[in-house]
């Protein structure tokens, strides 16, 4: 039986963004919400709040991404990529970048968690993350979901103001940049909050199957 709060998470996400493109994200958010509610308190690890006053952004080539939206701060140190064959079409592959505040694919569920994903189409193969500049992409996620607030703060990019997604590679490290990045947040479509920031990440970005031996379709 699907918990009521999990249904609420899915409903709100679908109201903001295309349901088909975010099918994988919905499954993961549902799993996380269920785990947060059903796990015993002893299984949770504590999370401390960061009181930095900046609006986030990863700095110049940071190995993590920090976002601060509506006074809520989240750090993302676990970055993966994957493809969705069901969404790939007309010779274009649908790629997904995943940014997590904890090791969702190998660690304990924390008492507070955040994630966002970036999806985009590109020419290429399912075995290699493409590099280049991409004008069309989707960014969405949730900040600081917890047992007391399982939906967290919903975020998505303001595509009318945000810069292009730029991916480059140097040796074994990837650089992922969106500058500027304008984040929309809130529950009311008519009164969304806009937060200007940037996304600048440099570090590893492992293919999901290589990391955990499972695919998103198995979730």
| Alpha carbons 129 and 148: distance in angstroms, whole number | 37
- Per-residue pLDDT band at 38 (split at 50, 70, 90): very low
The DSSP code for 116 is E
Mean pLDDT computed over 152-166: 94
With 50 as the cut, is the pLDDT of residue 40 above it? no
- 153-179 average pLDDT score: 95
**Rounded distance between C-alpha atoms, residue 23 and residue 56, angstroms:** 27
Compute the average pLDDT of residues 132-141.
Answer: 95
The domain limits of the chain are: 4-218
Contacts of 105 (CB under 8 A, 6+ apart): 80, 208, 211, 212, 214
Question: Cα dist. 53→70, 117, 201, 211, 213 in Å?
Answer: 11, 24, 19, 34, 39
pTM over 0.85: no
């Amino acid at each position: 039986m699907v918990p009521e709060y999990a249904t609420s998470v899915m409903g709100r996400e679908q109201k903001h963004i295309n349901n088909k493109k975010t099918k994988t994200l919905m499954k993961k958010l549902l799993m996380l919400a269920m785990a947060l509610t059903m796990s015993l308190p002893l299984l949770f690890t504590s999370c401390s709040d960061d009181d930095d006053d900046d609006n986030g952004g990863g700095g110049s080539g940071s190995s993590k991404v920090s976002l601060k939206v509506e006074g809520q701060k989240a750090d993302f140190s676990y970055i993966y990529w994957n493809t969705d064959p069901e969404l790939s079409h007309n010779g274009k592959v649908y790629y997904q970048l995943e940014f997590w505040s904890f090791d969702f694919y190998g660690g304990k569920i924390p008492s507070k968690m955040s994630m966002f994903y970036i999806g985009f189409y590109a020419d290429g193969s399912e075995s290699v993350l493409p590099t280049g500049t991409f004008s069309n992409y989707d960014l969405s996620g949730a900040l600081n979901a917890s047992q007391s607030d399982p939906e967290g703060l919903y975020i998505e990019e303001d595509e009318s103001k945000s810069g292009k997604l730029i991916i480059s590679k140097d040796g074994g490290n990837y650089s992922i940049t969106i500058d500027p990045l304008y984040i929309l947040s809130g529950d009311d479509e008519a009164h969304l909050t806009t937060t200007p920031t940037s996304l600048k990440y440099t570090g590893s970005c492992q293919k999901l199957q290589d990391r955990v031996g499972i695919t998103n379709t198995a979730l």
